[in-house]
Structure 1
């Protein structure tokens, strides 16, 4: 079974992120949830982003993700939720041992940390179609890199969810969608199989 690094979103390592990790673990996997904020939690995404900026920006988050990857050398899958996608992509591009990268509620350009996406690293992207945080940039980008019947060689598999809730997979948020979260977890289990 897979060892997975799951990087949290801008609210911090919430109980909802831990609950999502437990749902993924129910498939027989081990999920590590590094705390990129050293215990800080926020109730508003914009407050969380302000905290990231106070730490030194997203580069600091990416470097924290690299340190977490070094602490878990047995991990072969890396995942991120929203802001955590930055850390996940940095690790997926820099650590050859990662065989899959799972992006939830966010995406960064595939060449953000290396000129080309690692061809041996599968990518699964999960985005809410009406999410104001992803509609303008992340969703069009995901659609452009997602494999289709016409072009099956693109690196990503994209799953879209009909909701406007950015963190629908986090049970500690108001926008939590239990049914959508079950679908997301099932799709992650299918990838890991």
Structure 2
């Protein structure tokens, strides 16, 4: 079974992120949830994003340090802003075999000239999410459009909701059915 690092979103390591980790772990996997905010959790996206901005490059550095701390992990995942350190680790640490992005997408060459060919990429985006609709969703769709090409490792799954954090039990947009689908798809990747 897989060892996974799950990097939290801009609001911090919420109980909802922990609950998602437990659901993934229920498939027989070990899920590590590093706290890149040193215990701070924010009630709103704006407050979390302000804290993230104040941290600057430190957030990315903490995420890479967490990836280095869990050397046995072969999968790294990030929710929202947490995809930034997950992507960087997936592109620069040879041990990772998969990267899972939830509620975010980045260019395949964000941190390296080319995506690592041995790293599978799975993206999960809400199709009406205001945070992703203008940039991340079209980018992810462009990956899906070229999925038949051997140099494209990406699979995109879209969810019919406008809730950015539909998988976080602490968010008003939490959707248990969509979360169950998301977890099932992650388990299929890990199998």
Which TM-score tier does this pair reach, normalised by the shorter chain? over 0.9
Aligned to 1:9: 9
Alpha-carbon distance between aligned partners in 1 of 2:162 and 2:49, rounded to the nearest angstrom: 19
| Aligned counterpart for 1:95 among listed residues 93, 100, 114 | 93
SS in structure 2 of the partner of residue 35 of structure 1: coil
What is the CA RMSD across the aligned residues, in angstroms? 1.2
Structure 2 CA distance, aligned partners of 1:10 and 1:161?
20
Alignment partner, residue 20 of structure 1: 20
Which TM-score applies when normalising by structure 2? Answer: 0.97
Cα distance change of structure 1 residues 148 and 111 upon mapping to structure 2, 3 Å threshold = closer
What runs of 5+ residues in structure 1 fail to find an aligned partner? none
Q: What does 1:29-178 correspond to in 2, within 5 Å?
A: 29-55=29-55, 57=56, 59-146=57-144, 151=149, 153-178=151-176
C-alpha displacement of 1:188: 0.1
TM-score with structure 1 setting the length: 0.96
Distance 1:190 1:131, change over 3 A: same
Compared CA separation, residues 147 and 155, structure 1 to 2 (3 A): farther
